Amino acid sequence: MKRVNLAIVGATGMVGRTFLKVLEERKFPIKNLYLFSSEKSAGTELTFRGKEYKVEALTEESFDRDIDIALFSAGGDVSKKFAPIARDHGVIVVDNSSAWRMENDVPLVVPEVNPKDVDWNNGIIANPNCSTIQSVVPLTKLHEALKIKRIVYST
């Protein structure tokens, strides 16, 4: 697999740190890693594969470099502002907030359910919230067998 230039927006938060842990565990092929956060957390150092990375404040110029993929988990307001900027720089954004989930031109993807929907992205890919992801995997199999008509899901 080709090594990619990867950015994490919201790197110092719990989800951002989990991104780093999972990427390391799965030996995701990273060429260059860029970590972004709020002004308040900028300067924090995070370790990835034994190397220290200094977290940068997210700005409108953050994507003025060679980045292939950006994982966003910094809240809807941040995603609404910065995901289009990243996309316009040729970055594929995978957004973990609620910002893009209801947009018709943004695929809402659960890899175990509809991985091919990634193919029609316009530069931004959304994912459902954590509770929904866990339920749609088994519900997909039930739907295939029984044709579910309606589900009301509350968290």
What type of residue is 51?
A: K
Q: State residue 100's pLDDT score.
A: 97
Beta-bridge partners for 7 = 34, 70
Q: State residue 155's pLDDT score.
A: 75
One pLDDT digit (tens) per residue for the chain, 155 residues: 799 999 999 999 999 999 999 999 999 999 999 999 999 999 999 999 999 999 999 999 999 999 999 999 999 999 999 999 999 999 999 999 999 999 999 999 999 999 999 999 999 999 998 888 889 889 999 999 999 999 887 77
Beta-bridge partners for 52 = 47
From residue 72, how far is each of 9, 15, 78 by CA, in Å? 5, 9, 9
- Say yes or no: domain 4-99 is CATH 1.10.3720.10: no
Sheet arrangement for strand 4-9: 56-57, 30-37, 4-9, 69-72, 92-95, 124-126
Taking only Cα atoms into account, the Rg of the chain, rounded to an integer number of angstroms, comes to 16
- Ordered by start, the domain boundaries in the chain are 4-99
Q: Is 70 exposed, middle or buried (0-12, 13-18, 19+ CB in 10 A)?
A: buried
